[in-house]
């Protein structure tokens, strides 16, 4: 299927207190995104730390995000996993709670075959009636969703697209060629947003847009409108900030960045740790250079 997602989507952080999810703080972040032009919110993706959350916390967070967004933007829920049965349940829960779509990472750690990847996505697709986005991030999962396999997944009725974060532009280009007209290509790597859009991508799913939603939206809009000169200028401005946001493993830096903006982002959950002080200074400098108001 085509036409599900166009523009900028933000891979939302999840703000935690010592006792659970800070829903009030999360609501302020959702409003910040919508007020600055973001087209969709991705809740409980990798950046949202779902691996450290209880099932009760996940359901609460999904339901709150959908209620707070109130139809103003799409809400896409991270629902993949390394157990197909549990991933099916997560997809069904997202659909029942009113999600517009699901983002399903490839099974991690198991290192299944390409046939196993297709069967995994087929099982998820068969279980729900809402759009499904495949998510390829081999640096985290240990498995690479190859273009030929994605071409098969693209034939499934409710496959909306693929979030590509392999970092391999040759692979991205081949995937784009094989799925064109069947489903869509989305950038899942902030440093490659512009080239992926230029290759026919229709949207980005961005970490940096937690901090700079208006800037990421402007970049996407310029690229989709074919104004590559403006898109390049906007990308040039964003790249140092993107680099700073990955000076440690995501979401450690971006979570601290939200704290620096004055949001109550809290700390990452263990085993992730707070951003090292030297990196915090680097991040604050990059944020100021981009024009963001650093409050602490």
pLDDT digits (tens, 9 = 90+) for 205-245: 999 999 999 999 999 999 999 999 999 999 999 999 999 99
Q: Of 61, 51, 50, nearest to 99 (Cα)?
A: 61
Task: Reply yes or no on whether 109 is catalytic.
Answer: no
Structure tokens at 176: 């784009």
Under 8 Å between Cβ of 219 and 262: no
pLDDT digits (tens, 9 = 90+) for 46-62: 999 999 999 999 999 99
Is the model's pLDDT at 295 over the cut of 90? no
Under 8 Å between Cβ of 252 and 260: no
pLDDT digits (tens, 9 = 90+) for 60-115: 999 999 999 999 999 999 999 999 999 999 999 999 999 999 999 999 999 999 99
Structure tokens at 239: 């790249």
Instruction: For residues 59 and 42, give the distance between their C-alpha atoms in angstroms, rounded to a whole number.
Output: 14
Instruction: For residues 261 and 47, give the distance between their C-alpha atoms in angstroms, rounded to a whole number.
Output: 17
SS3 139: helix
Q: Of 166, 207, 200, 170, nearest to 184 (Cα)?
A: 200
Give me the catalytic one of 135, 186, 217, 255. 135
Is the model's pLDDT at 296 over the cut of 90? no
Element (H, E) at 40: strand 40-43
How many alpha carbons fall within 13 Å on the CB side of residue 122? 10
Report pTM. 0.95
CA 144 remoteness from chain centre: 17
- Average confidence (pLDDT) over 21-44: 98
Is the model's pLDDT at 27 over the cut of 70? yes
Task: Reply yes or no on whether 163 is catalytic.
Answer: yes
Residue ranges and CATH numbers for the domains of the chain are: 7-225 (3.20.20.70)
Give me the catalytic one of 32, 120, 121, 163. 163
Under 8 Å between Cβ of 198 and 219: no
Element (H, E) at 286: helix 277-290
Structure tokens at 216: 């990421």
Under 8 Å between Cβ of 76 and 99: yes
Report how far apart, in Å, the C-alpha atoms of 23 and of each of 28, 55, 73, 86 are.
9, 16, 18, 25
């Amino acid at each position: 299927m085509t036409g599900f997602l166009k523009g900028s989507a933000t891979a939302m952080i999840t703000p935690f207190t010592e006792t659970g999810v800070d829903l009030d703080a999360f609501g302020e972040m959702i409003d910040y995104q919508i007020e600055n032009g973001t087209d969709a919110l991705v809740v409980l993706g990798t950046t949202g730390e779902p691996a450290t959350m209880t099932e009760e916390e996940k359901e609460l967070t999904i339901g709150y995000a959908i209620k707070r967004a109130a139809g103003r933007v799409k809400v896409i829920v991270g629902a993949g996993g390394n157990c197909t049965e549990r991933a099916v349940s997560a997809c069904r829960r997202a659909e029942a709670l009113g999600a517009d779509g699901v983002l399903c990472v490839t099974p991690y750690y198991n290192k299944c075959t390409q046939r196993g990847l297709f069967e995994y996505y087929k099982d998820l697709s068969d279980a729900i009636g809402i759009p499904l986005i495949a998510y390829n991030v081999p640096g985290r999962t240990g498995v690479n969703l190859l273009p030929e396999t994605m071409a098969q997944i693209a034939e499934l009725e409710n496959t909306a697209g693929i979030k590509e974060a392999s970092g391999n532009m040759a692979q991205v280009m081949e995937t784009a060629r094989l799925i064109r007209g069947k489903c869509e290509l989305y950038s899942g790597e902030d440093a490659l947003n512009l080239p992926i859009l230029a290759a026919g991508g229709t949207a980005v799913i961005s970490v940096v847009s937690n901090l700079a939603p208006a800037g990421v939206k402007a970049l996407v809009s310029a690229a989709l409108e074919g104004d590559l000169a403006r898109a390049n200028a906007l990308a040039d401005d964003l790249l140092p900030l993107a680099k700073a946001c990955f000076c440690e493993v995501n979401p450690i830096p971006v979570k601290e960045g939200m704290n620096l903006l004055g949001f109550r982002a809290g700390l990452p959950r263990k085993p992730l740790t707070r951003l090292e002080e030297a990196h915090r200074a680097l991040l604050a400098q990059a944020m100021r250079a981009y024009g963001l108001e650093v409050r602490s």
